[in-house]
Amino acid sequence: MSGQPAKPVAVRGNLASSLPRRLRGPSMARYDRLPAPLRGWLARAALPWSPNSALRIWTRLHRETGGDTRAVLRRLDLAEQRMLARDTATVWGSGYPCASGPEARS
């Protein structure tokens, strides 16, 4: 140990997402400033969304839905399902269940 603080490292682990990985400083402070419904959605999200990208999408959807929080959350769910379907096809192949997208679900 050299006494130097450890540099942040992007942990890839078993995350096979097409989302870009970036380290941009103290993300917890940005997370804490997010609207409460968005923080709740992120806590349950399947993908590792950054506070910046989540807030950018939230802001756009909030504007498009006239501020209807429930509609925004439904559209966030749909966006994540589509990303998962795309990543599923890439990682496991198009024959994997749900690889064709949320429309194929019954």
Question: What one-character DSSP code corresponds to residue 57?
Answer: H
Instruction: Give the tens place of pLDDT for each residue, 4-13.
Output: 655 554 545 5
Instruction: Give the tens place of pLDDT for each residue, 38-54.
Output: 999 999 999 888 899 99
Full-model pTM = 0.64
Where are the domains positioned within the chain? 34-104
Provide φ and ψ at 68, rounded to 5°.
-80, 100
